[in-house]
C-alpha cells in the first residue's frame, strides 16, 4: 500500500504522475517512485523519503506519454530505495505498482526462483512483476489475467510494458482503483484526489475486474475476458476542497470546517413539519424499520468511537438495543446473524479493509448491512445494501476529525427517524431537531476560542502520559480524545469511563499524569466531580471540559475550558472539538507532522 497513479495521453506523464503522488501524500507513505516509457524502454526512478526527494532525482527533460507512480507504506521489507515501488521484472521491460498484501508470495517466489527469476527486493509486491513476466507473450492484458488466479490476498495492481507502449493494465481485489476519463487521455488511481485536477469523470472498479486503458478508451473485463459495461460517474468534490485554503495544514482546516460539515450532514434530511428525519438510500421499508429489534455497528478507529456514540443514541432515543463491534473482530468470530437486526458499516473512506471484509462476511450470512461513508463510489458505499453519505467533503489529514462529527450527526438523524416511528412524541422530536440545528453555531463558539486551547496545550504538551475520562454518551468521546493525542503528538494517552478509574487506572495517577475530564451538566455530573476529587487527592493534575457557568469546577481543577450548554445527548459534538484542538496544538508544540503522523495511513487497506 498506499497510493497509485497511472497516466496515458498527449501530456507529459512524468509531471502528471508526480503531481498525482503529491495529492496522495495525505494517505501517509515512506517512499515513492515512478516508471515511464522512454524510447522503447522503461525508466524507473524511486527513492525512500518524500516526493520532494523524488522530484530531485527526476531529470527535467524526462518527457513521456505514459507511466505509473506509487507512494509506499512499508509492510514487507525495510524502508529503502530498493523496496520502493515500482517493481520490475527480470528484463526491465515490465513495471508494476501494488497496494495490498500477497499472502502466498513466499511460495510463488520459490517457484519463480526455481524457474530462473532473480529478485532484488524484500517485498511481496515484486513477485507480481515476475509472475506477469512468466506469462507475457506480447500481450500484457492476457498475461495479467493469467497471473491473477495465482495470487492470494488483496491487491490493486497497475502495470505497464515497454513492448506495449502507451497502454496501462489495472486489476482490483480488495484494494480500490478508479479510472479517470479525460479528453484523449486516461488516468488510473487508487483515489480520486490524485486525478481531480484533470477530470471529474470516473469509473470505479469492483473486485475481480481488470481494466485495459489507452488514451482514447478503456475496456473492463473479468479475468475470464467477459466484458463488463461500467457506469461513468461524476466526481462531486472540487479541487479547492483538497487544498489547504490558507491554513497551515489540513488538520486545522478540517477541524475548523466542522460547523459547515455538520450542516451538510443534516442538510435536506430534517422534516420539521413531521418532527422527523429523512434518510434516502436506506433501502428499507417503513415496516422493516418498525420491526427492527436491534442494531449492530461495525467500524474501526475513530469511526468505531462514532459508532459507540451511535449505539448510545439508539438506546436512548428510539430505545432499541444497539451494540458497537470492532470490525477486525467480527469477521473472524463466526458472527451470529439475528432476526430483525440491522448492521451499519461505518468508515470515512469506505475502503477500511477490516470493515469491508466484516461487512461481506455478515452479508454472506444473510445480514442487511448499511454503510455510513464519506467517499462517494467507495467499496463500502457500493457493496452495502444501502446507506447514508455523511457529505463531510474530502478529509485529507490522516487523523479524522470532521468525519467523526458528521458520522454522529447521521446517527442522531437515524435515531430520530426510528423514535418517531415508535413512541417519541411530536413535541419531543421537535425539541431534538431544534437542539440538533443549534449545534453548528455552538461548535463555532468553541472554535472561536482556539487561543485558550493553544495556551493550554503549550502548558501540558511535554507531559508523557494522559488520561481522558467521560461517562455515558461522552465516554466514547474520551476514547476519541485519547486517540487523537496519541495519533498526532505521540504522547501516551488512555481513555476510560470516569466510573472505571477506581478499577485500576487510579494507580497511574501522580503529578506527572494529567487527567482530562468531560463534565457535562447532566445527571452524572456529581459522580464525575467525585472522580475528579479522587484524582486531586492523589496530587493529579486535572483539565476539565465543562459547561459555561459551572463555578464549582473552576475551584477544584487546574485548568478548565468552557463549552456552551446543550441537550445532554448532544454534548459529544461540543466536547470532542476542544479535544481535537488540544491534541493538534500539543502536536505543533512538539514539532510533529500533524497531517502525516508517523506509521499511520489515512485509509487502512491491509489487514
Q: pLDDT (tens digit, 9 = 90+) per residue, 462-518?
A: 999 999 999 999 999 999 999 999 999 999 999 999 999 889 888 899 999 999 999
β-bridge pairing 559-563 and 542-547: parallel
- The pLDDT assigned to 2 comes to 80
Domains and CATH numbers, the chain: 2-235 (3.60.20.10), 243-445 (3.40.50.10490), 449-607 (3.40.50.10490)
- The pLDDT assigned to 268 comes to 93
Confirm if 299 and 469 have CB atoms less than 8 A apart: no
The catalytic residues are 2, 602
Q: Is residue 590 classed as helix, strand or coil in its secondary structure?
A: coil
What is the H or E stretch that residue 41 is in? strand 41-48
Closest CA to 250 of 240, 262, 260, 236: 240
Determine the Cα–Cα distance for residues 582 and 576; give it in Å rounded to an integer: 10
Determine the Cα–Cα distance for residues 535 and 545; give it in Å rounded to an integer: 16
β-bridge pairing 186-189 and 2-8: antiparallel
- The pLDDT assigned to 81 comes to 87
Cell 526455481 sits on residue: 114
Confirm if 359 and 298 have CB atoms less than 8 A apart: yes
Q: How many CB atoms lie within 10 A of CB 530?
A: 12
- Regions of the chain where pLDDT drops below 70: 1, 603-607
Determine the Cα–Cα distance for residues 372 and 325; give it in Å rounded to an integer: 15
- The pLDDT assigned to 17 comes to 96
- The pLDDT assigned to 366 comes to 95
Confirm if 530 and 558 have CB atoms less than 8 A apart: no
Please tell me the number of Cα atoms within 13 Å of 196 on its side-chain side: 19
pLDDT, averaged across the chain: 93
Taking each helix axis from N to C end, the angle separating 105-114 and 126-135, rounded to the nearest 10 degrees, works out to: 50
Determine the Cα–Cα distance for residues 308 and 327; give it in Å rounded to an integer: 13
pTM of the model: 0.85
Closest CA to 21 of 93, 89, 97: 97
- The pLDDT assigned to 325 comes to 96
Phi-psi region of 343 (alpha: psi -120 to 50; beta: other; left: phi over 0): beta
Determine the Cα–Cα distance for residues 93 and 40; give it in Å rounded to an integer: 9
- The pLDDT assigned to 292 comes to 96
Determine the Cα–Cα distance for residues 122 and 118; give it in Å rounded to an integer: 12
Determine the Cα–Cα distance for residues 479 and 495; give it in Å rounded to an integer: 4
Confirm if 219 and 203 have CB atoms less than 8 A apart: no
- The pLDDT assigned to 243 comes to 79
Determine the Cα–Cα distance for residues 543 and 556; give it in Å rounded to an integer: 10
Give the DSSP letter string of 163-214. Answer: TSTT-EEEEEEBS--EEEE-SS-EEEESSGGGTTTT-SEEEEPPTTEEEEEE
Q: pLDDT (tens digit, 9 = 90+) per residue, 389-420?
A: 999 988 989 999 999 999 999 999 999 999 99
CA–CA distance from 456 to each of 381, 462, 567 (Å)?
A: 40, 11, 27
Confirm if 443 and 262 have CB atoms less than 8 A apart: yes
Q: Is residue 72 classed as helix, strand or coil in its secondary structure?
A: strand
Cis peptide, bond prior to residue 245, ω within 30 of zero:
no
Closest CA to 386 of 406, 405, 371, 396: 371
Confirm if 69 and 42 have CB atoms less than 8 A apart: no
Q: pLDDT (tens digit, 9 = 90+) per residue, 59-68?
A: 988 999 999 9
- The pLDDT assigned to 75 comes to 79
Taking each helix axis from N to C end, the angle separating 475-489 and 301-316, rounded to the nearest 10 degrees, works out to: 170
Determine the Cα–Cα distance for residues 366 and 360; give it in Å rounded to an integer: 10
Amino acid at each position: 500500500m498506499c497510493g497509485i497513479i497511472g497516466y496515458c495521453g498527449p501530456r507529459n506523464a512524468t509531471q502528471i504522475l508526480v503531481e498525482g503522488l503529491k495529492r496522495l501524500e495525505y494517505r501517509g507513505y515512506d517512499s515513492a517512485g515512478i516508471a515511464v516509457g522512454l524510447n522503447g524502454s522503461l525508466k524507473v526512478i524511486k527513492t525512500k523519503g518524500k516526493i520532494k526527494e523524488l522530484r530531485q532525482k527526476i531529470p527535467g527533460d524526462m518527457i513521456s506519454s505514459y507511466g505509473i507512480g506509487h507512494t509506499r507504506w512499508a509492510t514487507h521489507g525495510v524502508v529503502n530505495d530498493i523496496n520502493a515501488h515500482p517493481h520490475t521484472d527480470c528484463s526491465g521491460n515490465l513495471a508494476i505498482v501494488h497496494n495490498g498484501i500477497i499472502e502466498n508470495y513466499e511460495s510463488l517466489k520459490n517457484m519463480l526462483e526455481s524457474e530462473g527469476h532473480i529478485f532484488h527486493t524484500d517485498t511481496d509486491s515484486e513477485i507480481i512483476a515476475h509472475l506477469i513476466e512468466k506469462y507475457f507473450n506480447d500481450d500484457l492484458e492476457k498475461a495479467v489475467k493469467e497471473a491473477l488466479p495465482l495470487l492470494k490476498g488483496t491487491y490493486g495492481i497497475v502495470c505497464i510494458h515497454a513492448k506495449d507502449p502507451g497502454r496501462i493494465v489495472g486489476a482490483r481485489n480488495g484494494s480500490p482503483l478508479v479510472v479517470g476519463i479525460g479528453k484523449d487521455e486516461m488516468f488510473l488511481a487508487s483515489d480520486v484526489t490524485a486525478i481531480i485536477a484533470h477530470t471529474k469523470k470516473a469509473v470505479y472498479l469492483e473486485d475481480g475486474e481488470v481494466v485495459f486503458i489507452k488514451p482514447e478508451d478503456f475496456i473492463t473485463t473479468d479475468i475470464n475476458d467477459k466484458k463488463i459495461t461500467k457506469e461513468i460517474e461524476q466526481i462531486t468534490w472540487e479541487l479547492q476542497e483538497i487544498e489547504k485554503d490558507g491554513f497551515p495544514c489540513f488538520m486545522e482546516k478540517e477541524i475548523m470546517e466542522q460547523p459547515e460539515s455538520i450542516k451538510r450532514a443534516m442538510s435536506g434530511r430534517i422534516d420539521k413539519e413531521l418532527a422527523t428525519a429523512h434518510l434516502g438510500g436506506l433501502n428499507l421499508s417503513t415496516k422493516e424499520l418498525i420491526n427492527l429489534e436491534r442494531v449492530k455497528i461495525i467500524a474501526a478507529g475513530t469511526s468505531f468511537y462514532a459508532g459507540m456514540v451511535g449505539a448510545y443514541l439508539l438506546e436512548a432515543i428510539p430505545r432499541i438495543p444497539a451494540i458497537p463491534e470492532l470490525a477486525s473482530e467480527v469477521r473472524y468470530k463466526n458472527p451470529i446473524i439475528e432476526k430483525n437486526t440491522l448492521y451499519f458499516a461505518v468508515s470515512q473512506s469506505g475502503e477500511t479493509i477490516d470493515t469491508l471484509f466484516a461487512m461481506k462476511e455478515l452479508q454472506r450470512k444473510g445480514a442487511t448491512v448499511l454503510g455510513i461513508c464519506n467517499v462517494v463510489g467507495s467499496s463500502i458505499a457500493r457493496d452495502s445494501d444501502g446507506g447514508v453519505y455523511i457529505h463531510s467533503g474530502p478529509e485529507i489529514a490522516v487523523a479524522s476529525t470532521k468525519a467523526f462529527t458528521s458520522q454522529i450527526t447521521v446517527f442522531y438523524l437515524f435515531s430520530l427517524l426510528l423514535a418517531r416511528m415508535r413512541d417519541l412524541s411530536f413535541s419531543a422530536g421537535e425539541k431534538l431537531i431544534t437542539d440538533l440545528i443549534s449545534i453548528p453555531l455552538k461548535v463555532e463558539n468553541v472554535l472561536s476560542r482556539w487561543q485558550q486551547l493553544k495556551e493550554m496545550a503549550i502548558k501540558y504538551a511535554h507531559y508523557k502520559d494522559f488520561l481522558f475520562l467521560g461517562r455515558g454518551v461522552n465516554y466514547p468521546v474520551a476514547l476519541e480524545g485519547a486517540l487523537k493525542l496519541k495519533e498526532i503528538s505521540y504522547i501516551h494517552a488512555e481513555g476510560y469511563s470516569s466510573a472505571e478509574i477506581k478499577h485500576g487506572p487510579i494507580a497511574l495517577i501522580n503529578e506527572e499524569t494529567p487527567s482530562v475530564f468531560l463534565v457535562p451538566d447532566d445527571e452524572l455530573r456529581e459522580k464525575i466531580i467525585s472522580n475528579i476529587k479522587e484524582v486531586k487527592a492523589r496530587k493529579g493534575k486535572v483539565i476539565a471540559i465543562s459547561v459555561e457557568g459551572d463555578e464549582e469546577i473552576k475551584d477544584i481543577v487546574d485548568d478548565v475550558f468552557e463549552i456552551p450548554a446543550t441537550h445532554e445527548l448532544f454534548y459529544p459534538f461540543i466536547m470532542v472539538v476542544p479535544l481535537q484542538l488540544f491534541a493538534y496544538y500539543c502536536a505543533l508544540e512538539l514539532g510533529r507532522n500533524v497531517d502525516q503522523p508517523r506509521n499511520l495511513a489515512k485509509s487502512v487497506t491491509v489487514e
